[in-house]
Structure formats: structure tokens, C-alpha cells
Amino acid sequence: MNAPAKLRIATASLAGCFGCHMSFLDIDERLLELIDLVEFDRTPLTDIKTCHPCDLGLIEGGVCNAENVHVLRTFRQNCKTLVAIGACAVNGGLPAQRNHLDLRDILETIYETEGGLARGTHIPNDPELPLPLNRVHPIHEIVKVDYFLPGCPPSADAIWKFLTDLIAGRTPTLGHGLLRYD
């Protein structure tokens, strides 16, 4: 019998701090066990830039600009299962703190008011740059999300439990101690 086909996984960090990816790497030597079961598509680990058809997509961070929307949609179109990992993807997290302020005021205060930046600085309008959204959104407000893994970041053990459950075909459950929101 042939060995079962490896699961294809893509990951991305949107409006996040890469802390969830760091926590993922904290599974340490279990990475070697994991690599026997999966292969990586687009992820900061492989430096592949676009997402191809995958079994599993892991998203860290919320959605703060137009590019985040495009990346997230590409993931949704390509991944059979999409997972929100960490406080920002689940709830908007720290970046969503700006939702209490008007984006126009933020841009004006930062770029047009004397003080912080070099003289003559203006709000950048290069078409290369993605425009920020009025508000930062958790990813489930933009696309359908299949699973949520909370935590800031979720611990390596939680990520490991979650992934091994999924890979084995079990509905992931995080028991006491692994399911936490801080």
C-alpha cells in the first residue's frame, strides 16, 4: 500500500505580529514529525508567494487593508479548510483598537500634522500601496471560516493538538488549559 498523500498546508500573517507563527515554530522537534505528514505551500517558512490548492489554510491576524482582503480570499478559494489562528484573526485583536478612531483623523494626525515625521511628508498615495480599511475586521466577517483557534498566541501545544487532530481526521477539540484567550 502506498503511504497516504501528504496534507498540503498554507499559512499567512495578515494584520498580525507573526507571534502565532512563532508559536507554531515552538512545536520544536515535533516539526520533524509534522513534516512527514504535511507539505507546505505558501507560508513565510517556504517563501512561496501565492497560495495554490491546499487542504488546510492557517490565517494569523485580522484584516486591515485591501491586500489582506485579496490574500484572505485567495486562501478561501484554495483551501478546503480555513482556520483563524490567534486573537487578531478571531476577534481583530490589537490592530482593531484603532476602530475607535476615525481613519481619516489617524492618517491626518500621523502624516499631515507637524511633529513626528520629516518635513513635507504627506499621506502616501502610491498605487503600489494597499489602502487601509475604515475598520479592522476579524477574518470571519470577510470569508467563511471553518475553525477558530484562540489565544494570543495559542500555545505550541494547542497548535500541535489542533493540527494533529485535523490531520488525523478528528474534529479538533482543545481541552482545559489549551483553550485560552490570552
Region binding another protein by CB under 8 A among candidate stretches 48-56, 96-104, 151-159, 173-181: 96-104
- Of 17, 37, 94, 142, the one binding another protein (CB under 8 A) is 142
Beta bridge partners of 59: 12, 84
Contacts of 154 (CB under 8 A, 6+ apart): 20, 23, 85, 86, 162, 178
Contact between 71 and another protein by CB under 8 A: the answer reads no
Residue 168 to residue 9: CA distance in whole angstroms: 14
Q: How far is the CB of 141 from another protein (least distance, A)?
A: 6
Enumerate residues 6+ apart whose C-beta is below 8 A from 159: 23, 24, 27, 85, 149
Q: Percentages helix, strand, coil for the chain, rounded to the nearest 5?
A: 35, 20, 45
CB 150 within 8 Å of CB 90? yes
- Per DSSP bridges, beta strands 38-40 and 7-13 are parallel
In the complex, the smallest distance separating the C-beta of residue 122 from another protein, rounded to whole angstroms, is 9
- Closer Cβ to another protein, 46 or 73, answer by number: 73
Q: What's the min distance (Å) between Cβ of 162 and another protein?
A: 19
Q: Which stretch binds another protein (CB under 8 A): 24-32, 53-61, 103-111, 151-159?
A: 103-111
- Report, in Å, the least distance between residue 37 CB and another protein: 29
Interface residue with another protein, options 80, 131, 173, 180 (CB under 8 A): 131
Number of amino acids touching another protein (CB under 8 A):
25
Would you say 98 and 106 are in contact if contact means Cβ atoms under 8 Å apart?
A: yes
Footprint of another protein on this chain (CB under 8 A)? 66, 69, 73, 76-77, 102-104, 107-108, 123-125, 127, 130-135, 137, 141-144
